[in-house]
């Protein structure tokens, strides 16, 4: 039997396949990460208040007006003879979590939750603690053993900021613009004509 009960083609019950809150906010973070120009790791973050309202979102990128085409997206290799620390993206990138906090535009973040696609580093942990965020949900912890992430965990644990890996309820969420356009008789837009 289908999830949505129907009588003579009319939906009579609420739709059951709606997104769970945590999946919704993590998906928002993932969507935000898609804005990142970082060729290796795209990170997205979303801050949510106790009433499940999105306060701010962010992704990793260079500071405003620092050109994505002029600043380097490379990682400088320390043990090479032409090592140049100024050619390393980490000198310039604003992390997704930091951008989300900055994008909150002065709203109080006390007691909010941060959804992030990657566990926060130590610098972001400092900002998270100082801004009053009380819980972190993350997807990946791929750098867990690096000192910056161990320091992050140490600070978060010391002050009681909760952190847990988000286990998605849904395996995937498909966004297909075509689905909406196909059911709209007034749409003259043909997605095949788009220049992406």
Q: Binding site membership for Zn(2+): which residues?
A: 95, 121, 124
Asked whether position 43 contacts ligand LCLUPRNS by CB under 6 A, the answer is yes
CA–CA distance, 45 with 103 (Å, rounded to integer): 11
| CA 51 to chain CA centroid, nearest Å | 19
Q: Give, as ranges, the residues between 129 and 148 that touch ligand LCLUPRNS (CB under 6 A).
A: none
Residue 54 in 3-state DSSP? strand
- Is residue 54 within 8 A of residue 28, CB to CB? The reply is yes
Q: Is 97 annotated in the active site?
A: yes
Does the footprint of ligand LCLUPRNS cover residue 57 (CB under 6 A)? no
Find the angle CA(29)-CA(54)-CA(21) to the nearest 5 degrees: 70
The partner residues of 115 in beta bridges, in order of sequence, read 46, 137
Among positions 89, 95, 113, 163, the unique one binding Zn ion when judged by CB under 5 A: 95
Site for ligand LCLUPRNS in 89-118 (CB under 6 A): 89, 93, 95-97, 118
Q: Rounded to an integer, what distance in angstroms lies between the CA atom of residue 103 and that of residue 28?
A: 15
Assigned token pair, 70: 């002029």
Which among 4, 11, 70, 97 is annotated as catalytic? 97
Distances (CA, A) of 130 to 33, 43, 46, 49: 24, 21, 17, 16
When binding is defined by CB under 6 A, the residue of 22, 38, 88, 135 that contacts ligand LCLUPRNS is 38
Find the binder of ligand LCLUPRNS among 10, 40, 158, 194 (CB under 6 A).
40
Q: Does 120 bind ligand LCLUPRNS (CB under 6 A)?
A: yes
Of these partners, ligand LCLUPRNS, Zn ion, none, which one is at the site of residue 10 (CB under 5 to 8 Å by kind)?
A: none
Q: Which is nearer to ligand LCLUPRNS, 20 or 146 (CB)?
A: 146
Point out the residues that are catalytic.
Answer: 97
């Amino acid at each position: 039997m289908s999830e949505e009960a129907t009588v003579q083609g009319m939906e009579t019950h609420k739709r059951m396949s709606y997104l769970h809150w945590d999946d919704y906010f993590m998906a928002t973070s993932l969507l935000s990460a898609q804005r990142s120009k970082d060729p290796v790791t795209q990170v997205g973050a979303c801050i949510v208040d106790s009433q499940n309202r999105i306060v701010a979102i962010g992704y990793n990128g260079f500071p405003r007006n620092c050109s994505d085409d002029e600043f380097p997206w490379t990682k400088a290799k320390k043990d090479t003879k032409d090592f140049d620390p100024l050619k390393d993206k980490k000198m310039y990138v604003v992390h997704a979590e930091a951008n989300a906090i900055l994008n909150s535009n002065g709203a109080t973040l006390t007691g909010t939750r941060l959804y992030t696609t990657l566990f926060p580093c130590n610098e972001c942990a400092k900002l998270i603690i100082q801004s009053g965020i009380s819980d972190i949900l993350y997807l990946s912890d791929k750098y867990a053993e690096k000192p910056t992430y161990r320091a992050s965990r140490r600070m978060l644990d010391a002050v009681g900021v909760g952190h847990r890996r988000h286990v998605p309820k849904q395996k995937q969420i498909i966004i297909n613009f075509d689905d909406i356009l196909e059911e709209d008789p007034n749409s003259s837009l043909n997605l095949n004509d788009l220049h992406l």
